[in-house]
Amino acid sequence: MILMALYRALMISAVQLIHPRRFGDARGWFTEVYSEPAFAKLGIDCRFVQDNHSLSVPKYTLRGLHFQTPPRGQDKLVRCVRGAIFDVAVDIRKGSPTYGQWVGAELSAENGHQLFIPIGFAHGFVTLDDNCEVTYKCSDTYAPESDGGIRWDDTAIGIDWPMPAGTIPELSAKDAVQQLLADFDSPFPYDGRPLAPLA
């Protein structure tokens, strides 16, 4: 029941923007946000074992860029269920031809889009509304000993966060002092899956 995006690359991109179909009538709508067989057809065959749900009260709250290192890496399937966010994935796979490059998409309660972010990518988002709620599925549970991050404003990555010039986002104390990409010795190998523009 899920209408998936078609991909421009010959191979399926590592990071995928997914467009679940909504079936609506006078009552509202219904959508199937996850189906193991449908996702497997896209090459997403991980097993999700944890669901997370966050609330970010102020507009321009920024969370990221986060990842867990092997052997506790996490594939993530992210969606926004209230408000809107700009969701980002950064390639941190050693040897990848797109190492340090990023892709991003707006996810909102209105559009229903989801972003699949596999192991080997740092993840972050900034909220575009007040009181945003985000849910995401993970393929491993939280492991503080494997918790890692990269600075959200690293100029070597150059993420174009959609915030007015001069805006200082709301950050956690941890995210304000994350390491730069240049100081990061990646434990993630390149697996041959390309990072392509999001469809």
Provide CB contacts within 8 A for 7, sequence distance 6+.
13, 16, 196, 199
The C-alpha angle 108, 129, 30, rounded to 5 degrees, equals 25
- Which alpha helices (H) appear in 34-172, and where do they start and end? 36-40
> CA-to-CA distance for 73 and 67, rounded, in angstroms?
7
For residue 144, give the 3-state DSSP assignment. Answer: helix
Which residues carry out catalysis? 66, 136
Nearest to 105 by CA among 167, 159, 177, 29: 159
For residue 43, how far is the Cα from the chain centroid? 17
